[in-house]
Amino acid sequence: MSIHRDPVLDRSIGSFVGGKTADKLLGELQIRTVGDLLSHYPRRYDRWGELTDMSKLELDEHVTVLARVVEAVTKDYRDRRRKGRISKRVEITVTDNRGTLLLTFFHQLFRLAQLRPGTVGYFSGQISEFNGRRQLLHPDLRLLDGSTDLDTELETGSQAGRTLEAIYPATARLQTWSIASSVARVLPEIVDVEDPLEDDFRKREGFVDLRTAYRYIHLPTNLAQVEAAQNRLRFDEAFVVQLELARQRAATERMPAVARLPRAGGLLDRFDAGLPFTLTAGQREIGELLSNELVLDRPMHRLLQGEVGSGKTVVALRAMLQVVDAGGQTALLAPTEVLAVQHHRSIGIMLGALARGGMLDGDPDATRVRLLTGSMGVRARREALLDVASGEAGIVVGTHALLEDVVAFADLGLVVVDEQHRFGVEQRAALTKRAGKKRPHTLVLTATPIPRTVAMTVFGDLETSTLAELPAGRQPIQTTVVPAAARPDWLQRCWDRIGEEVGLGRQAYVVCARIGDGEDSGDVDERGLPRPQAAVELFQQLTSGPLGHLHVELLHGRLPAETKDTVMSRFARGEIDVLISTTVIEVGVDVADASTMVVMDAERFGISQLHQLRGRVGRGGSPGLCLLVTQTPVGSPPYDRLSAVAGTSDGFELSRLDLETRREGNVLGVNQSGRRSALRLLSVLDHEDVIIRARSLAEQIITDDPMLAAHPALDAAVRRFARSRQSGYLEKS
């Protein structure tokens, strides 16, 4: 089927605006087509007729003033960015006949010619103060016709028309006025734009048509029009996402997979019989669900989310054993080498003789559990690859090394991805494609609880299960914020407390935000903020000071693989009292006697990351203690966020707070690529009803017409979204 292209929205923006403007739109905002431009929505609206009285201006207020230039001069100043050289700034004094205001421009001498005395215009920006005068620094501006009289304009507002003025997200080289001008040239050309929503549905939902929505959002005359446009375009955003996800789910269901039937008396039954603990009700319920999906001849595609310490690994291992019993292989993909080694070790311990196939002390029916990482020696790597290729290794645990072309599976039946948000689209696809024409079953694990609407939007191609119940024996974790700047004695108390815990036979973690050891220099970072404590430096301070009487070791990502493995093994065996580490221990590390964690510069970590970190303690018989050390002032926003983490152990509540306090684009997975979120008007937290309606309609349409053959405008909208640079986060398969 040929790709349907809308005759207007898919056209190059260069067809409508000048070459220089088109180059700026592309270079500054990545706007290539008419559709891109019309989807660059205003961030706010100014009512130009409602002007601010200059005599009543207040600091930090965002104002729009109508004024006449009375003076334009230049002033010399020492430019610190240019090593103290003399530079010039332009100072423009304007008046509205009631007061005066200073407009200041740095490195813009052309303003002298543009803003000559007598010039009348609208000036918009945030009020600040300089040398005792109120000023606008680099204000937005719109100059009026040279014949405009200030008094007449103040009285009638004829130029502004007392209508809403769209203010766009802009850049230093591409101002909001240029974007508005480009939009104004394009809007008359979309008379015949195809509307992807059918008339009956639009009328039933009370939506305006697409052309009207674009006009209302870019050239509104009142706020009711803005609201109508946003309601329609917000639904469109949710709808194309849900259509793409529904199409992915439908495509997955059409793919063939090998049914992996359980085997009576096999590895799974024997593993269950030897468990030293009782599975929780949640573990049994989800285990049965996974087992039932593995016996189907279409691929399982499931996300399992669970609180830190809820036992996801055991659930995943039981599914892996069912596949091995059925003659297949399983791959567990971990984001870090430390976690991969930990998984390999813990699976080996849990399976015992069942994991030592072909060895003298192995069970006759055992499989092999192989580890594959990038830092392995040549001989160990060759042996692992041979076991994988021959099928001798039923369970393969590894890092990104599993994705290399030299890795060949005999019969890959199940892929388990741990902490999947750390892997890119191509990386995940590279592993699932190893099974050949028949796709392996896929189980994605995450210990970061996901709000329902995020699950529907970001992970909507996966069926979602939640493991909320904690296994018996998990101890409560007390979390306390330590304001080190205000109370340095509290920091000393942290070290004393570690000593007390070690004296009781327990262990502790100290977590730092950076490694140190020459990676950077100076007391401040590139943003002018104090550098966080480095692990290498803190190790030296503590071992020569308050923790010098204890056995303290250092762990970070730059250490050789053998060293990292040795340190973690000794810590797990209780031979090390205190482990000073970076976040390599964030997930998956399970040391029963670790009861205490001190997180240095805790404000440098995300909310969900802190929740993950503290989940490393309290995993044995002793209550956990997590101390969040911060130099931020009490009552500051970072301190308040830490207090929120200390105030609850509910991962879902914290994940919602995490999403509220940072850009949604981070959660949607576009942050790593430095791009904007694909969602401009839709909030995955605030618009649950919109997402539910869009998902329901998308499922109906895809069920009846999986290829959207009868919906060409919809197909074009979905393809346009799929082609966009932001849509990669949808491809979780």
Average pLDDT over residues 11-32: 84
pLDDT band at 674 (very low <50, low <70, confident <90, very high): very low
Structure confidence at residue 421 (pLDDT): 53
577 alpha-carbon distance from chain centroid: 35
Structure confidence at residue 244 (pLDDT): 87
473: left (phi over 0), alpha (psi -120 to 50) or beta: left
Average pLDDT over residues 278-306: 92
Whether the model pTM is above 0.85: no
Structure confidence at residue 51 (pLDDT): 57
Structure confidence at residue 436 (pLDDT): 67
Residue 3 has pLDDT above 80, yes or no: no
Residue 729 has pLDDT above 60, yes or no: no
pLDDT band at 4 (very low <50, low <70, confident <90, very high): very low
pLDDT band at 459 (very low <50, low <70, confident <90, very high): low
Task: Kindly list the structural domains of the chain, giving each domain's residue range(s) and its CATH number in brackets, ordered by start.
Answer: 1-43+169-193 (1.10.150), 48-167 (2.40.50.140), 267-467 (3.40.50.300), 477-648 (3.40.50.300)
Query: HSE-up of 252 (CA within 13 Å, CB side)?
Result: 23
Dump the DSSP string for 71-131.
Answer: EEEEEEEEEGGGTTEEEEEEEEEEE-SS-EEEEEEES-TTHHHHT-TT-EEEEEEEEEEET
C-alpha distances in Å from residue 618, one per residue of 99, 394, 448, 524, 614 = 65, 32, 18, 35, 9
For 455-465, letters b (16+ CB in 10 Å) and e give bbbbbbbbbbb
With a pLDDT cut of 90, the percent of the chain lying above it is: 42
Structure confidence at residue 727 (pLDDT): 42
Residue 664 has pLDDT above 70, yes or no: no
pLDDT band at 140 (very low <50, low <70, confident <90, very high): confident
Residue 479 has pLDDT above 90, yes or no: yes
Rounded to whole angstroms, the Cα distance separating 599 from 612 reads 12
Average pLDDT score, the chain: 84
Residues in the chain: 733
Report which secondary-structure segment, H or E, holds 588: none
For 352-448, where are the alpha helices, taking DSSP H only? Answer: 378-390, 425-432
Average pLDDT over residues 131-148: 82
Order of strands, sheet of 463-467, starting from the edge strand that comes earlier in the sequence = 368-372, 393-398, 329-333, 412-418, 441-446, 301-306, 463-467
pLDDT tens digits, one per residue of 95-130: 988 889 999 999 899 999 999 999 988 888 888 998
Structure confidence at residue 726 (pLDDT): 46
The residues pairing with 102 across neighbouring beta strands, listed in sequence order, are 93, 135
Average pLDDT over residues 406-412: 92
**In the numeric block, which tokens belong to residue 436?**
């050949």
Q: Identify the CA nearest to 136 among candidates 56, 47, 65, 43.
A: 65
426: left (phi over 0), alpha (psi -120 to 50) or beta: alpha
Structure confidence at residue 725 (pLDDT): 44
Report which secondary-structure segment, H or E, holds 597: strand 594-599
Rounded to whole angstroms, the Cα distance separating 636 from 631 reads 11
pLDDT tens digits, one per residue of 158-214: 444 446 778 888 776 777 778 888 999 999 988 888 899 989 899 999 999 999 999
Identify the residue with better confidence: 655 or 186. Answer: 186
Residue 669 has pLDDT above 90, yes or no: no
The label of the residue with tokens 């750390």 reads 422
Q: Which amino acid is at 336?
A: T
Identify the residue with better confidence: 23 or 462. Answer: 23
Structure confidence at residue 461 (pLDDT): 67
CA-based torsion, 665, 670, 676, 681: positive or negative: negative
Average pLDDT over residues 27-35: 86
Structure confidence at residue 718 (pLDDT): 85
Most confident residue range from 28-42, 138-152, 283-297, 306-320? 283-297
Cβ 510 vs Cβ 578: under 8 Å? yes
- DSSP 8-class letter at 524: B
| Number of neighbouring beta carbons within 10 Å of residue 256 | 10
The helix/strand/coil state of 404 is coil
Structure confidence at residue 151 (pLDDT): 65
Identify the residue with better confidence: 147 or 222. Answer: 222
Average pLDDT over residues 24-52: 80
The helix/strand/coil state of 454 is helix
Residue 76 has pLDDT above 50, yes or no: yes
Q: Identify the CA nearest to 37 among candidates 21, 53, 20, 59.
A: 21
Residue 460 has pLDDT above 70, yes or no: no
Structure confidence at residue 682 (pLDDT): 85
Report which secondary-structure segment, H or E, holds 100: strand 100-106
Rounded to whole angstroms, the Cα distance separating 641 from 354 reads 46
Average pLDDT over residues 344-354: 91
pLDDT band at 645 (very low <50, low <70, confident <90, very high): very high
Lowest mean pLDDT among 47-56, 258-267, 466-475: 47-56
Cβ 570 vs Cβ 576: under 8 Å? yes
pLDDT band at 525 (very low <50, low <70, confident <90, very high): low
Q: Which residues contact 510 (CB under 8 A, 6 or more apart)?
A: 498, 538, 542, 578, 579, 580, 581, 597, 598, 600
Residue 681 has pLDDT above 60, yes or no: yes
Average pLDDT over residues 677-706: 85
Identify the residue with better confidence: 219 or 460. Answer: 219
Structure confidence at residue 16 (pLDDT): 85
Identify the residue with better confidence: 458 or 199. Answer: 199
Average pLDDT over residues 594-622: 89
pLDDT band at 518 (very low <50, low <70, confident <90, very high): low
Structure confidence at residue 301 (pLDDT): 87
The helix/strand/coil state of 626 is strand
Residue 26 has pLDDT above 90, yes or no: no
- Expressed in angstroms, the distance from the first to the final Cα of the chain is 24
Quote the Cα angle for 339-345-350, to 5°.
Answer: 120
pLDDT tens digits, one per residue of 533-561: 999 999 999 999 999 999 999 999 888 88
